[in-house]
Amino acid sequence: MPNPEVSYPRDADTPVSHLPFSPCVVVGNLVFVSGQASVDKTGKIISGDIESEFRLSMQNVEAVLKTAGTDLAHVVQTRNYVRDENDLPKYNELYAEYFTDAKPARTTITQCLPQTLRYEIECIAVLPQ
C-alpha cells in the first residue's frame, strides 16, 4: 500500500528508464533524485565525451527537479560517478558552471561506470518555501 506522505512526481518531460526505479521521490520538503545519465527521452543511452554526457545528464536532472517543483538552486547534495579519472578536471569545470554560488555537499566516485557511460549524477534537493 502506498505511503500518503511519499509522492513520485512524473510527467511527459521526466526522463524514462527501463530499470525498476522512480526518477524522484518526494518526502516532506525533500526531493531525492535517482541517478541521471546521458539518456534521451526514450531512455536510450547517448554515449559521448565527458562534456556531452555531463550536459545531457544535467538536463535530465533539471527536468526531474522541475517535475518535482524545485531546481538546481535548491540542490543540497550530489553524488557523482565519473568513469575515467582523467575526466576529473573537465568534470570539475563543468560542475562549477551548474553550481555557481552556494555549492551543494558533493561526493565523486571514479572508475565505477560501465563502458557505455562516462558520467552519472544523483542528488537531494529541497522544495522552495
Q: Do 62 and 123 contact (CB within 8 A), yes or no?
A: no
19 band by pLDDT with thresholds 50, 70 and 90: confident
pLDDT of residue 9: 84
Position 85 pLDDT exceeds 80: yes
Maximum CA extent, the chain: 46
84 band by pLDDT with thresholds 50, 70 and 90: very high
**pLDDT tens string 90-109:** 999 999 999 998 899 999 99
Q: Do 60 and 121 contact (CB within 8 A), yes or no?
A: no
Q: Where residue 37 sits, what CATH number does that domain have?
A: 3.30.1330.40
pLDDT of residue 52: 97
Q: Percent of the chain beyond pLDDT 90?
A: 75
Q: Which residues form the domain of 13?
A: 6-126
> For residue 74, is it within any domain?
yes
Q: Other CB atoms closer than 10 Å to residue 47's CB: what's the count?
A: 13
Q: For residue 32, what are the β-bridge partners?
A: 25, 124
10 band by pLDDT with thresholds 50, 70 and 90: confident
> For residue 1, is it within any domain?
no
Average pLDDT estimate for 56-64: 96
CA distance 92 to 116: 21
User: Structure pTM?
Assistant: 0.92
> For residue 51, is it within any domain?
yes
> For residue 78, is it within any domain?
yes
> For residue 62, is it within any domain?
yes
- The count of structural domains within the chain is 1
Chain mean pLDDT for the chain: 92
> For residue 59, is it within any domain?
yes
